[in-house]
Amino acid sequence: MTDERRAFDRFRRRVRRLEATPLEPPRRSVGSQPAGQVLQQASLSAASRRPDPTRDALATVRTAYRETVMAVPHYDDVYGESRQEHMAGELGLEVTTAVTQGTWNLELKRWLLESIDHALTVRTQLLQAIDDDADAIETFEREVTAFLSTLESLLAQPLARLEFNALRLTRDRILSLQTDCDDLVERRQAQISRRRRLTIAEVGFFEQYCYRDCDGTYPILDLLATCGTLLQRACSRVERYLAAAP
């Protein structure tokens, strides 16, 4: 992701260096075409007046995209798309069509730079989210390790020989651990919900990007679900001893 952000930054610098002139609508007399056709007429007029420079500029943009954004080391493994497909996913179909078939002018340059800035913003946010998630995972690991250690200690007791009150206290402690586990699940779900807006081209949501090589898209929730099952079984075991206690 860092490589992609740097690549888009290089692409933006190359686009900024390209000269562009404002799009001038053609003059028209009374009774000529309706105003809705002005932009199309202006584009055709500009193309007829400056065909070579605009074609060269658009070709330069397309080449710059291939030499920067599509040149990241992991491009073929992660994306493997044509220039037009990938550009449409990152910058939008309309921008891509204009870069492929339109006329280079100041308006298109501004539009293109805005789309590039959006791609950069998404990657900056995603990188920050990755750092935040790494910190969150460390916290989850510490907390899960702590209450599993507590559960192990509780189950290491000679349950069959414990008195009723000791069994009741053990059950209450396990129920408290279940509450802790439920709180962790809610906290993780809230983190996931806050990141729903973070998407990256065709890769998908944050979790799909970060955990695509894992067995599941939500490994922390899967771990907590396993812990919840262990706690339920432990509680049931203690309750059986409670029912049989004098």
Query: Which pLDDT value is given to residue 26?
Result: 53
User: Would you list the domain boundaries of the chain?
Assistant: 2-118, 123-244
Query: Which pLDDT value is given to residue 42?
Result: 47
Query: Which pLDDT value is given to residue 206?
Result: 76
Q: What is the pTM of this model?
A: 0.67
Give the CB-side neighbour count of residue 210, counting CA atoms within 13 A. Answer: 21
> pLDDT of the chain along its 246 residues, tens only?
899 999 999 999 999 999 988 866 655 544 555 544 544 454 545 555 545 567 789 999 999 999 999 999 999 988 899 999 999 999 999 999 999 998 899 999 999 999 999 999 988 988 888 898 899 999 999 999 998 999 999 999 999 999 999 999 999 999 999 999 999 999 999 988 887 766 655 555 677 777 777 788 888 999 999 999 999 999 999 999 999 887
Query: Which pLDDT value is given to residue 51?
Result: 53
Q: What torsion, rounded to 10 degrees, do the Cα atoms 92, 197, 130, 210 define?
A: -70
- What is the SS3 assignment for 199-238? EECCCEEHHHHHCCCCCCCCHHHHHHHHHHHHHHHHHHHH
DSSP character for 156? Answer: T
Alpha-carbon distances of 158 from 165, 172, 200, rounded to whole Å: 14, 17, 53
Extract the tokens encoding 184.
């962790």
Which one, of 74, 20, 62, 99, lies nearest residue 209 by Cα? Answer: 74
